[in-house]
Copies of this chain bind each other. A is one copy, B any other.
């Protein structure tokens, strides 16, 4: 069913593919790092399985592999970046770097990005702040799959939010979540197994409750976190909207139903109001608020008190955000990354196209 590949194998292959489509060596390495951080952290839907999809976007001339990423507007603590239709995997780390540099001077740095593409997992970008004793924040809009409460139209993407917060002796707190009840990746797992979804994940094209994991293909929609009004879906809708506005409207990118789709075979939206996909990044220096050592000591206490909260079932302790992904990382850096045979086959075909071997 799946085959194991080591991180260096997949990294080397990805770098060669990105170089083959025209990325500079350093951009190709950055793109491979961003992409593979998903596989390493257990978010299989957003990793190397998407490499072919990124290449198809390049073939469709929607990705510029030699993008001139630049700051087009700034203040001491903020910037707006034009991604020049580059790979989000490269644009996002560049923008996060700007946020971190701004934070050094102003306490915090905030960067909105227009004219980008999908950036992989939000958590990877937020985590860049950790080594600088900063809190990192990353979010992005995405093509519309989600219906706002009371509507049957797909108006929002799964619009994830990531927040990475340094601790002292404990590992960092890293939250990274789609603003929907369930991310698309979880739906794909049920699709493969031909299982129904729990209630509150999807609705039909007429806005009726559904448990059909294939509902999106039939015109249905994902639902905002909460599922329905009675369970707070208006809050999930508000969260997704905030991500959309910070990423798309504040940057001059596209927003709402006009965000371009990831699959290159899908048509672009009509009358797009902005450029490409939008992201939003933040970096907050801890010592812009209080001494970092005191903060980290309290974060350790925060983490320990939650980890040790009384479990309902003694076999399932409270999960500290970031722990599961870190455990994946430890496991997969040693034992390798499992790829579905279908993904391996697709990668091999991709390699053949460019004369690159996956070995």
Listed in ascending order, the chain A residues whose CB lies under 8 Å from chain B are 73-78, 80, 105-108, 110, 112, 135, 147-153, 155, 163, 165, 173, 175, 177-182, 198-200, 206-208, 225-227, 230-232, 234-236, 238-239, 241-242, 244-245, 249-252, 255-257, 273-274, 284-286, 288-290, 294-295, 298-299, 301-302, 305-306, 309-313, 316-319, 321
* A318 near B149: Cβ-Cβ < 8 Å: yes
- Smallest CB–CB gap between A90 and chain B, Å? 21
| B108 A110 Cβ-Cβ under 8 A | yes
A242/B77 contact (C-beta < 8 A), A251-B289, A319-B150 known: no
Contact assessment for A181 and B310 in the assembled complex, using a CB-CB cutoff below 8 Å: no
- Least CB distance, A319 to chain B, in whole angstroms: 7
Nearest Cβ in chain B — how far from A334, in angstroms?
Answer: 26
Q: How far is the CA of A151 from the CA of B314 in the complex (A)?
A: 10
Contact of A78 among B108, B165, B199, B321 (CB under 8 A): B108
Residue of B153, B239, B294 near A252 (CB, 8 A) is B294
Sample (17) of A-B pairs whose CB atoms are under 8 Å apart: A73-B289, A75-B106, A78-B285, A110-B284, A150-B316, A150-B319, A151-B311, A155-B305, A207-B312, A241-B321, A249-B299, A249-B302, A250-B286, A250-B295, A252-B298, A256-B302, A274-B298
Minimum CB–CB distance for A351 against chain B, Å: 37
With A108-B108, A306-B155 as contacts: A165 and B245 at CB distance below 8 Å: yes
Cα distance, A183 to B257, chains bound together (Å): 30
A148 nearest in chain B by CB position = B318
A309 & B165 in contact (Cβ 8 Å cutoff)? no
Q: A178 to B238: give the CA distance in the assembly, Å.
A: 12
CA–CA, A301 and B251, complex, Å: 15
Which of A108, A147, A153, A274 counts the most chain B CB atoms within 10 A?
A: A108
Task: Point out the residue from B76, B227, B250 that lies within 8 Å of A76, measured CB to CB.
Answer: B76
B residues less than 8 Å from A321 (CB atoms): 234, 238, 241
**Chain B residues whose CB sits within 8 angstroms of the CB of A232 once the complex forms:** 177, 180-182, 225-226
With A231-B200, A250-B286 known to touch, is A238 a contact of B175 (CB < 8 Å)? yes
Residues of B within 8 A of A206 (CB): 312
Q: How far is the CB of A45 from chain B (nearest CB, A)?
A: 16
What is the bound-complex CA distance between A205 and B257, given in angstroms? 43
B234 contacts A77, CB within 8 Å?
no
